[in-house]
Amino acid sequence: MNKEILYSVVIPIYNEEDNIPILYEKLVQVFEKIEGNYEIVFVDDGSSDSSWSLLKELHRKNSSVKILKFSRNFGHQTAISAGIDFAHGDAVITMDGDLQDPPELIPSLIEKWKEGYQVVYAVRKARKGESFFKKGVAWFFYRILKLLSEVEIPMDAGDYRLMDKNIAERLKNLKEQYRFIRGLTSWLGFKQTGVEFIREPRYKGEVKYSFWKLIKLALDGIISFSIKPLQVASFVGFIVSIFSFLYAVWAIIYRFALKEIVPGWASAIAIILFLGGIQLITLGIIGEYIGRIYGEVKDRPLYIIEEKYE
């Protein structure tokens, strides 16, 4: 007998009570048309609404629904990681729980996987229902990341992707605390490709990524995949030193040739403040790296599971 393919869908859930039922229905419909078995792994990232009881109900109704509950909110990237750790599939699909990642795209992801790609990521061709500000920041972030990152991370791709079991297994061995999963999957290499889709607005509820969580994710992405910001500090220092040396030479010549004292209170203050600012920014950048080193050396587990039903 041929062993049937098993697909795992991993979904992080943080207060998504209004989205879970319809997302579940849609997924079941999609998998009815796909040959093979499926499991849906929901990871409750410390929800305070009725998400967990809804998930328990789904698990009772359908044994293909596996559910994990974190002891508190550990964050989106960690929730996805836990789901991947837990998944058994030959292919593992990660997607958001707010229907912004349409389940209808799953067959196209699977098709590419069957062609031999180990990672198939969904690329946002357009984003609907997101503020101009958020789109702008996201656009800017992906370009900065491309500029700085030492690995090629696909642009405008979020965490909607399919990965082969091979990739999922290797991802489990990347134990870093400050996780930027799209970077980690790119770092792993192998044959990867993208499939375009239009990102719909969130179906129900509020965005769970606060402004600060988004900034943290962006910093994790940049800092985990680049040490260039640290090098920028020495570059700026170098440039400033050259200019100050030239300035000193000029001041000496001026003093002796023209025998005039330059009145320079305002410009001196401006320069001191400017350099002070650069120094503080540089310290801050170093601090971001040191803080993450501190977080890594503590070697705490990535997450704590309070309850699970498989």
Footprint of ligand UDP (CB under 6 A): 12-14, 16, 45, 73, 75-76, 79, 96-98, 100, 202, 207-209
Complex with ligand UDP: residue 118 or 124, whichever CB lies closer: 124
100 contributes a contact to Mg ion by CB under 5 A: yes
CB of 18 to ligand UDP, least distance (A): 11
Minimum CB distance to ligand UDP, residue 12 (Å): 3
The minimum distance between CB 5 and Mg ion, in angstroms, equals 28
Nearer CB in complex with Mg ion: 159/164: 159
In this structure, are residues 9 and 84 in contact, taking their beta carbons and an 8 Å threshold? no
With CB cut-offs between 5 and 8 Å by kind, which of ligand UDP, Mg ion, none does residue 208 bind? ligand UDP
Spatial distance between the Cα atoms of 140 and 197, rounded to a whole number of angstroms: 20
Binds 23, which of Mg ion, ligand UDP, none (CB < 5 to 8 A, cut-off by type)? Answer: none
Placement of tokens 């607005």 in the chain: 201
Over the range 300-309, which residues count as b (16 or more CB within 10 Å of their CB) and which as e? eeebeeeeee
d(CA 193, CA 161): 10
In angstroms, give the least distance from the CB of 114 to Mg ion: 28
- Minimum distance, C-beta of residue 10 to ligand UDP, in the bound complex (Å): 11
Choose the contact partner of 170 out of Mg ion, ligand UDP, none; CB within 5 to 8 A by kind.
Answer: none
**Residues 168-227 interacting with Mg ion (rule: CB under 5 A):** 202
Annotate 184-227 with DSSP letters as a single string: HHHHH-SSEEEEEEEEPPPSSS--SS-HHHHHHHHHHHHHHH--
At closest approach, how far in Å is the CB of 140 from Mg ion? Answer: 19
| Cβ closest to Mg ion, residue 59 vs residue 127 | 127
The entry of Mg ion, ligand UDP, none that residue 309 binds, CB within 5 to 8 Å by partner kind: none
* Sign of the torsion angle spanned by Cα atoms 54, 56, 62, 64: positive
* Closest CB to ligand UDP among residues 96, 164: 96
Pairing state between β 37-44 and 6-13: parallel
Residue 95 or 195 with smaller CB distance to Mg ion: 95
Alpha carbon distances (Å) from 157 to 10, 67, 124, 255: 17, 26, 6, 59
> Is residue 251 a contact partner of residue 209, using CB atoms and an 8 Å limit?
no
Q: Does 164 bind Mg ion (CB under 5 A)?
A: no
